[in-house]
């Protein structure tokens, strides 16, 4: 390190320490005068960050909840934060007072450096956010629109079933293709035949690089935005170079499919899609400005970025759960056999007649909440809750994992028990549907909930009807029992596992081939 670099580092360190000390002193003086929710004791500069592990932070937040209550106050460096560990608190604040709790904290790394500024999940709560929300709601929540997607769900499910019988050792790849194919068809009318597809590769590169570049060290810039102005040559500023690399991948992910659709409109060959509809509507109104194009790209791109990874996590969790809980899988097969028989495959109109299967899907969501910690919200103005003061600007973190593991909501939450959701005893109170938790709260609730729910239910129903999912065997013929363990991260995927998948019978295999031909020719 040169003497100039050393001097710059020393100066920056000294300046930051002075700023932190003054900010800490002011914060402590302010907090003494008001009643904040309880929480772990912070230390200067770090706050409570030193008490958080780099992995599975939702578990530590949950432990804080058991110690201090379901509403916990903490400091992440100099940023005040409130962790919500209960469904009641989340509903009270983010549902009932959604006007105050729909903001986002400043996401310097993702938005300002990596370029994820045009996607609704990261936007502040403003007119631009409302425009994107309106677009997505019209496309994904209208009853007629949802019905129009059913042929898409059917086609991709039958392709999945045929693929898994052809190559049963590639389960995760088939799941990822299934999730990607539906979103890319809906967003751009782009048909995906394999994971080698160009648009899939672009999207996966952008999302993967985002995760890799968002290490805890890099994310310091979210708590100290001044760090984004560090010279690239300064030691410790490597995160900026990595972020700029991600920015290029994000740009290509958003631009490439948009230009593809725009070109097809000019050529007169465009089919119906979310992007085509938005372009044509803006063009007719004379509003297809550069700014509007950025918004359309972002609205379409977030559908892939937000929907594909979570759907993959839920479906891979389903297969893992069925390997480990054969009794639940057999019950679901018996229900389908008794209600539908073996001469056809399940369809959407059968859902109300399959309560155990519906309960099984709910339990998969609850057993491994796909997004353990929701993207933080912020409070727009000061608020009071349970005699506690909630300061304006505080970061609000919903601990979705803690809610799905709450013993006051779910008896024996560590156990996989679909029966908990059955109304089999008159007068018995059925637990909260995990969809009321796992898809978020208030005005930030996932607008694609119904699309995702239909996609997941239909594949699960047809997998149960047509496949046997059992434990794999090692070279000595012994059964391999996978661990019920999950990767730490924003999305909770099962750790790699093995299983054996085969058709239940020659008849079910023939049914799959028959339906595949109907929906792909």
Q: What percentage of the chain has pLDDT greater than the value 90? A: 79
The pLDDT assigned to 33 comes to: 58
pLDDT digits (tens, 9 = 90+) for 154-191: 999 999 999 999 999 999 999 999 999 999 999 999 99
Annotated binding site for heme: 446
Question: What is the mean pLDDT of the segment spanning 202-215?
Answer: 82
Q: Residue 504: exposed, middle, or buried by beta-carbon count in 10 A (0-12, 13-18, 19+)?
A: middle
Name the DSSP letter for residue 52: S
Position 21 pLDDT exceeds 80: no
- CB atoms under 10 Å from CB of 270, counted, come to 20
Backbone angles phi, psi at 502, to 5 degrees: -150, 165
Average model confidence (pLDDT) for the chain?
A: 91
SS (H, E, C) 459-505: HHHHHHHHEEEECCECCCCCECCCCCCECCCCCCCECCCCCEEEECC
The pLDDT assigned to 215 comes to: 60
Position 468 pLDDT exceeds 50: yes
Domain ranges of the chain: 34-520
When mean pLDDT is compared across 201-205, 416-420, 495-499, the lowest value belongs to 201-205
User: CA 405, CA 368: separation in Å to the nearest integer?
Assistant: 9
Residue at token pair 């782009």:
190
Residue 225 tokens, joined? 């935005």
Confidence of residue 68 (pLDDT cuts 50, 70, 90): very high
Contact 171, 164 (CB under 8 A): yes
The pLDDT assigned to 216 comes to: 58
When mean pLDDT is compared across 28-42, 68-82, 498-512, the lowest value belongs to 28-42
The pLDDT assigned to 217 comes to: 56
Position 246 pLDDT exceeds 80: yes
The pLDDT assigned to 305 comes to: 81
Contact 401, 369 (CB under 8 A): yes
The pLDDT assigned to 349 comes to: 97
Annotated binding site: 446
pLDDT digits (tens, 9 = 90+) for 278-337: 999 999 999 999 999 999 999 999 988 888 999 999 999 999 999 999 999 999 999 999
Higher per-residue confidence, 219 vs 19: 219
Q: What percentage of the chain has pLDDT greater than the value 70? A: 92
Q: Residue 66: exposed, middle, or buried by beta-carbon count in 10 A (0-12, 13-18, 19+)?
A: exposed
Position 138 pLDDT exceeds 80: yes
The pLDDT assigned to 8 comes to: 43
Residue 395 belongs to what H/E stretch? Answer: strand 395-398
The pLDDT assigned to 224 comes to: 86
Residue at token pair 């119904």:
450
Confidence of residue 1 (pLDDT cuts 50, 70, 90): very low
Position 61 pLDDT exceeds 60: yes
Question: What is the mean pLDDT of the segment spanning 106-127?
Answer: 92
Give the three-state DSSP class for 362.
helix
Position 521 pLDDT exceeds 90: no
CATH annotation of 34-520: 1.10.630.10
Contact 469, 501 (CB under 8 A): yes
User: CA 74, CA 76: separation in Å to the nearest integer?
Assistant: 7
Q: Is the pTM of this model over 0.75?
A: yes
Distances (CA, A) of 41 to 30, 73, 181, 229, 412: 16, 9, 48, 31, 31
The pLDDT assigned to 9 comes to: 47
Confidence of residue 219 (pLDDT cuts 50, 70, 90): confident
């Amino acid at each position: 390190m040169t003497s100039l670099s050393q001097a710059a580092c020393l100066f920056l360190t000294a300046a930051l320490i002075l700023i932190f000390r003054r900010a800490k002193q002011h914060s402590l003086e302010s907090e003494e005068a008001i009643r904040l929710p309880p929480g772990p004791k912070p230390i200067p500069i770090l706050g409570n960050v030193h008490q958080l592990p780099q992995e599975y932070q939702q578990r530590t937040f949950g432990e804080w909840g058991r110690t201090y209550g379901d509403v916990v106050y903490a400091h992440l460096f100099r940023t005040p934060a409130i962790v919500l560990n209960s469904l009641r608190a989340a509903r009270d604040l983010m549902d009932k007072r959604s006007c105050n709790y729909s903001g986002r904290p400043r996401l310097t790394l993702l938005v300002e450096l990596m370029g994820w500024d045009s996607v609704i999940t990261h936007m502040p709560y403003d007119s631009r956010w409302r425009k994107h929300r309106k677009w997505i709601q019209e496309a994904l929540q209208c009853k007629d629109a949802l019905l129009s997607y059913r042929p898409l769900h059917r086609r991709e499910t039958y392709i999945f079933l045929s693929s898994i019988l052809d190559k049963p050792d590639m389960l995760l790849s088939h799941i990822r293709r299934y999730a990607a194919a539906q979103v890319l068809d809906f967003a751009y009318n782009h048909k995906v035949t394999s994971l080698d597809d160009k648009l899939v590769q672009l999207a996966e590169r952008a999302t993967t690089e985002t995760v890799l570049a968002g290490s805890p060290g890099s994310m310091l810039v979210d708590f100290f935005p001044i760090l984004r102005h560090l010279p690239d040559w300064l030691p410790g500023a490597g995160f900026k170079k990595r972020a700029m690399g991600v920015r290029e991948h994000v740009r290509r992910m958003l631009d490439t499919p948009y230009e593809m659709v725009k070109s097809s409109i000019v050529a007169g060959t465009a089919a119906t899609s979310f992007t085509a509809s938005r372009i044509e509507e803006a063009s007719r109104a004379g509003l297809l400005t550069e700014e509007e194009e950025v918004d359309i790209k972002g609205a379409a791109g977030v559908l892939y970025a937000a929907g594909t990874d979570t759907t993959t996590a839920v479906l891979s969790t389903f297969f893992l759960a069925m390997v480990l809980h054969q009794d639940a899988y057999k019950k679901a097969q018996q229900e389908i056999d008794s209600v539908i028989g073996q001469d056809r495959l399940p369809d959407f109109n059968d859902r109300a007649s399959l309560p155990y299967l519906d309960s099984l899907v709910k339990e998969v969501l609850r057993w491994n909440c796909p997004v353990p910690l929701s993207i933080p919200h912020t409070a727009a103005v000061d608020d009071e809750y349970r005699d506690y003061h909630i300061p304006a600007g505080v970061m609000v973190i919903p601990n979705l994992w803690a809610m799905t593991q709450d013993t006051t909501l779910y008896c024996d939450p560590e156990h996989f028990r679909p029966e908990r959701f059955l109304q089999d005893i008159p007068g018995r109170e059925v637990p909260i549907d995990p969809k009321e938790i796992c898809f978020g709260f208030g005005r930030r609730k996932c607008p694609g909930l119904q699309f995702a729910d239909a996609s997941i239910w239909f594949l699960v129903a047809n997998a149960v009807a047509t496949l046997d999912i059992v434990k794999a065997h090692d070279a000595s013929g012994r059964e391999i029992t996978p661990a019920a363990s999950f990767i730490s991260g924003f999305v909770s995927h099962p750790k790699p596992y093995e299983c054996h998948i085969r058709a239940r019978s020659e008849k079910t295999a023939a049914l799959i081939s028959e339906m595949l031909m109907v929906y792909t020719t």
